[in-house]
Amino acid sequence: MKPATKSLLWGTLMKLNLSAAIAASLLAAIAIAQNPPAPTVDRVGFPTGYQDWPALYVFDRPDVRQVRTIFANPPAFNVKDGEQSNYPYGSILVMQTWNCLRDAAGVCILDEQGRFQKDPAATPTLFVMRKERGFGVEYGPNRTGEWEYVAYRPDGSYQTRPENSFSCAVCHTEAQRNHDYTYRTGLAIHQGSGAVPNIVMTSYRFLPNTLTVKKGTTVTIVNEDAPAHTVTDDFPGGMDSGRMKFGRAITLRFTETGEFNFHCTIHPSMRGKIVVVD
Ligand SMILES: [Cu+2]
């Protein structure tokens, strides 16, 4: 009796798998047949001279091991807090993605400030978004306000052509709408850090609350909590960050071995410890 039930079950499973496979291949065929809509002409334009524009923020990405610098032309750079929901026409944001300098194990080497460094041998890519009156209509359901997107190589050739820039729009629809579909511009406004945190402040805790590091290393602590916190040495008269609002970061460099015990003066039950070893 038992083996029969088993084979019956097998048969059902096989059938299910088969129809799932057919469905998947049909879906793939549809996806290939119709890309989401996008502009067919480049109205963004290569951002000549972007290196001379001010850098809005620098953001380290450990997953893809890149330094990402966002340059903003004057109209975009001069946008103040509270006006970010509507960038002025003529705004251009350039995100330059640059591979980090790596050690033999492929890990990004931090500089004195605890930041990634650009590998001088690497070639960056330029992700550009530009806002002008009436831009973005061709993205249809994926329209992100009046922005259009293109990605270039430094020699002016395309990394992502206008026809393929729907991919940019699709992702940026998920960005902060109150920041006009840009993602990280809050970093500039909140004077945040784009450093990779070693400790974060969240839910009224330091996470992790004990960290062991080698002498000479930097430790970056970022407040990812809505309320302000402080990083204050338990030792009276010691280091005190002062009030750190959401997004703010502090980078500490330890040159002596020992224990650094700290707390938040606003919420004294928030405690943390950094152990520095040889
Ligand atoms: Cu606190």
Ligand 1 mean position, distance from CA 125 (Å)? 40
Decide which of 16 and 59 is more confident. Answer: 59
Separation CA 139–CA 128 (nearest Å): 16
| Residue 150 bridge partners (DSSP) | 128
Residue 36 is classified by DSSP as: P
Decide which of 63 and 19 is more confident. Answer: 63
Ligand 1 mean position, distance from CA 228 (Å)? 6
* Residue-range domains of the chain with CATH: 50-189 (3.50.70), 199-277 (2.60.40.420)
Separation CA 158–CA 227 (nearest Å): 43
On the question of pLDDT at 252 being above 60, the answer is yes
Tens digit of each residue's pLDDT (9 = 90 or more) over 27-39:
555 555 588 999 9
Q: With contact defined as beta carbons under 8 Å apart, do 154 and 126 qualify? A: yes
Q: Which of these, 110, 86, 276, lies nearest to 185 by C-alpha position?
A: 86
Place of tokens 């992700």: 127
Tens digit of each residue's pLDDT (9 = 90 or more) over 72-95:
999 999 988 778 889 999 999 999
Ligand 1 mean position, distance from CA 229 (Å)? 4
Separation CA 8–CA 78 (nearest Å): 69
Q: What pTM did the predictor assign?
A: 0.85
Ligand 1 mean position, distance from CA 242 (Å)? 11
- In this predicted structure, what is the pLDDT of residue 137? 98
Q: With contact defined as beta carbons under 8 Å apart, do 218 and 60 qualify? A: no
As a whole number of Å, the CA-based R_g of the chain is 25
Ligand 1 mean position, distance from CA 198 (Å)? 17
Tens digit of each residue's pLDDT (9 = 90 or more) over 115-173:
999 999 999 999 999 999 999 999 999 999 999 999 999 999 999 999 999 999 999 99
Point out the least confidently predicted range of 4-8, 40-44, 179-183, 199-203: 4-8
Ligand 1 mean position, distance from CA 226 (Å)? 10
